[in-house]
């Protein structure tokens, strides 16, 4: 074999290995085409990142998505982006670092929703300087853990109304 052919074969092999490595690192892909018509999904931290992409995909599949966000302005911007290609999106203000805010939001959800089928606990803070929530908890554990714990427990009646298929999904990193 000529040197140029060997080099071409080596480059093709490297390209194929890199493509395989990329697919392996990204993990499995969801191939489900299941529709979620009639389902109600509540997502925390739904205005950016994983939360926004989940809101987009779940709405695209027909679910009614309630985005719980700290900033209504950023939440509405994200919702406008999603609404163009998907179903019903509602934005509600809720700050997971404030038990008062969580309770107020749950009160509003109880008044406006008949059920919740999926609760996606996604929001979180990280690498923040030592600060405290208004309830006196360290900010990271107060927001990422205790805030979601309180929210989930207060939403259990609505989740039960969603039936035996209701789900709580908590994202961690």
pLDDT in tens, 114-143: 999 999 999 988 888 899 999 999 999 999
pLDDT, mean over the chain = 93
Over residues 63-122, the pLDDT tens digits come to: 999 999 999 999 999 999 998 777 799 999 999 999 999 999 999 999 999 999 999 999
pLDDT category at 23 given cuts 50, 70, 90 is confident
pLDDT category at 166 given cuts 50, 70, 90 is very high
Record the pTM. Answer: 0.83
Would you state the pLDDT for residue 79? 95
CA of residue 42 relative to chain centroid, distance: 9
Region of residue 67 (phi > 0: left; psi between -120 and 50: alpha; otherwise: beta): beta
- Whether 75 and 121 have beta carbons less than 8 Å apart is answered as no
- Whether 85 and 65 have beta carbons less than 8 Å apart is answered as no
Residue 118 is given by DSSP the state E
- Whether 117 and 166 have beta carbons less than 8 Å apart is answered as yes
pLDDT category at 173 given cuts 50, 70, 90 is low
């Amino acid at each position: 074999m000529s040197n140029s052919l060997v080099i071409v074969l080596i480059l093709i092999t490297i390209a194929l290995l890199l493509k395989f490595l990329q697919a392996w690192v990204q993990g499995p892909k969801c191939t489900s085409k299941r529709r979620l018509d009639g389902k109600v999904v509540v997502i925390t931290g739904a205005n950016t990142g994983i939360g926004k992409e989940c809101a987009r995909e779940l709405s695209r599949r027909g679910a009614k998505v309630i985005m719980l966000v700290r900033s209504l302005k950023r939440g509405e911007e994200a919702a406008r982006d999603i609404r163009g290609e998907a179903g019903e999106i509602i934005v509600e203000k809720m700050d997971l670092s404030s038990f008062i805010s969580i309770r107020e939001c749950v009160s509003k959800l109880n008044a406006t929703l008949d059920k919740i089928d999926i609760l996606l606990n996604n929001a979180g803070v990280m690498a923040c300087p030592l600060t405290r929530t208004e309830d006196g908890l360290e900010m990271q554990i107060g927001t990422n853990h205790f805030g979601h714990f309180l929210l989930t427990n207060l939403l259990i009646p609505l989740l039960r109304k969603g039936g035996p298929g209701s789900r709580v999904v908590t994202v961690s990193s």
